[in-house]
């Protein structure tokens, strides 16, 4: 007989130990401009270039991404904690989900992109499917941009920095 799955609380607590990059997924178009902080982002394929993001189906960003057909994945730099807080709905200053709180540039696709992000992927929606409480969006990457800053990481319910060790250094 199959063992019952772990509880949601146990699963969430254990996943909290995973160090993940922090991203703000943005979309803009006929269905509106939305941004949302997410940690579930990964590459799918290099040929063709595909990335995936997971977004809770209760978020209005889900319908906007579907209707707009495009989204950008902004991998936040270590100095971008305020972006993450704003687009998770818990800003220290300003209003939740408010683009006016931060500096943006317009991407090749017209999407709002985080200035000085570690990396940005401008995507058109390639496919989407539901899994549990979330919708998985797979995006075909139309443009990619790289910055020089260290990434912002989330682990143990706190924002963290990646400490890069130089080759040959033990400190």
Task: List the domains of the chain with CATH numbers.
Answer: 21-158 (2.30.110.10)
At 102-132, the pLDDT tens digits run: 989 999 999 999 999 999 999 999 999 999 9
Burial bucket for residue 92 (CB in 10 Å: 0-12, 13-18, 19+): exposed
* Whole-angstrom distance, CA of residue 55 vs CA of residue 74: 14
The answer to whether 14 and 31 have CB atoms below 8 angstroms apart is no
Residue 83 vs residue 165, higher pLDDT: 83
How many CB atoms within 10 Å of residue 50?
18
Report percent pLDDT > 90 for the chain.
70
38-76 pLDDT, tens digit per residue, is 989 999 999 999 999 999 999 999 999 999 999 999 999
DSSP code of residue 10: H
pLDDT of residue 87: 95
Q: Which residues pair with 76 in a beta bridge?
A: none
User: Which two structure tokens, joined as six digits, stand for 152?
Assistant: 């912002």
* Residues 158, 2: Cα–Cα separation, whole Å: 35
Average pLDDT for 142-151: 93
């Amino acid at each position: 007989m199959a063992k019952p799955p772990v509880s949601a609380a146990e699963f969430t607590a254990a996943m909290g130990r995973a160090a993940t990059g922090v991203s703000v997924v943005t979309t803009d178009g006929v269905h509106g401009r939305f941004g949302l902080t997410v940690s579930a982002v990964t590459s799918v394929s290099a040929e063709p270039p595909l990335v995936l993001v997971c977004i809770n189906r209760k978020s209005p960003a889900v319908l906007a991404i579907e209707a707009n057909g495009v989204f950008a994945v902004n991998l936040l730099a270590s100095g971008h904690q305020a972006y993450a807080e704003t687009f998770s709905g818990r800003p220290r200053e300003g209003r939740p989900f408010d683009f006016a709180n931060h500096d943006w540039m317009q991407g090749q696709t017209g999407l709002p992109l985080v200035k000085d992000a570690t990396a940005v992927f401008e995507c058109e929606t390639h496919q989407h499917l539901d899994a549990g409480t979330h919708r998985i969006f797979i995006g075909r990457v139309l443009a990619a941009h790289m910055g020089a800053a260290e990434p912002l990481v989330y682990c143990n319910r706190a924002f963290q920095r990646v400490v890069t060790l130089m080759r040959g250094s033990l400190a």
